[in-house]
Structure 1
Amino acid sequence: MTSMIQHRESFLANIAKQLGRSPKTELPRPTWQYQPQDRVLKEATQDELVEVLIKQCANIHTDIKISSTSTLPQDLQAIVDHYGGQSVITWKDERLKDYGLSPLMTEQWPQANIELYEWNAQQPEENIRQAEKANIGITISEMTLAESGTAVLFSSKNRGRSVSFLPEKSIILIPKSTIVPRMTQAARWISEKIRRGDNIPSCINFITGPSNSADIEMILIVGVHGPIQATYLVIEDR
């Protein structure tokens, strides 16, 4: 789903007038003398970033498995079995087919009594009902931050955000080529897309492992407002 901002210029001009100021439509970007945010893991290779991600996953209570395009169906099946199977909800995403997962999901899972539901933009209420009762939600990360172990999920009409937080368990597919050092690169990437005029979703989720809360007496509680278990499945896509 895309959104448009209407009457923005007149709205801002009216605010400026009420404040007694001349309207400004664009602010100059600052030039910083020092940019330490760009130096962290700057020279790291993709393999080195994967190692950083693996270490961080241990800190955020997230399992991680390295796969390849040829073994992905078997590796995904192993995780689904580990999580108890039962029911799975996925986005309606062509990348799942491109990764060769269609036979697994549409043929093998029904035979194994694993219920599959694919997000349907025409059935919003049913989508939520299915996400609430699903045991496992499967999504795909657009970009993954090695330093913090954070997956970046882009929502759309076919990629409901409920898939990543209503099921008890979450599996996030992570193309290895999309792993970057940290938030610096993700923010720059999104900013560049906006500057080019690309359509970006109104909801971008930065997910760091399963749901965690330690607000009360600094006691860690997992699963308060989201999945209680999460696995990152890194795909060697190059």
Structure 2
Amino acid sequence: MTPSLLQIQHMTKTYQRGMETVHALDDVSFSMQEGEFIAIMGTSGSGKSTLLNILGALDQPTSGTLRLRDEAQREIFTEPAATLYRQQNIGFIFQSFHLLDDLTVSENVALPLMLAGTDAKTIRQRVEHLLEHVGLSRWAKHRPTELSGGQQQRVAIARALIAEPPIVLADEPTGNLDFRTSTEIMTLLKALNKEQQTSILLVTHDAQVASYADRVLYFHDGRIVADQPSTGELGPIMETFERYVRSV
């Protein structure tokens, strides 16, 4: 059997709120295969973003194991191992685009490779290829402020993919976009997932967005309460999500 790309085993995250112990993650376990597209749904405070932060080594779990290609990643929650882990394995897409306004589109996309010390020729080739892929070649020398919200998110997607990471973590990537632009962004992400076999783990509260995934994990009170394959149809996703929303 081919080993999973990513395995989370008995992951917990607790913190104190006054005298109360809050379980942001409560014994979470799941695996992700190469090239899989997983959506995580849940109400606010259910643990979705906490999980994403831990997978990106932006936060540290209280207990549990993160395994990448069957190798336990015990050192990634301390520097400099965390930075190296992110550079080699993770691309980030956020709800807010987090582009630098004083850099051009090309420079924003190139930034991860520049920080990693990649040679200029390789950077130029990858930037040109990705900007063409996301339909922004003619905007390469423009500033982010000259672009629409959808175009800015396309820049952010190109930046997330520039280092060819095996995993992209996307936290509400369409949250600031209208329906038409959201559909364009999700269609792009799905195409990139299939064409490049980049594994995507996406947090959303929107069943329309989740329908693009191969599989949906439903979170409630820090636990996975359902793990279902997605057929791309909204009905089953909405029914499952609404059932757990009503149980809150």
TM-score (norm 2): 0.29
- The answer to which structure has the higher strand fraction is 2
TM-score (norm 1): 0.30
Q: Larger Rg: 1 or 2? A: 1
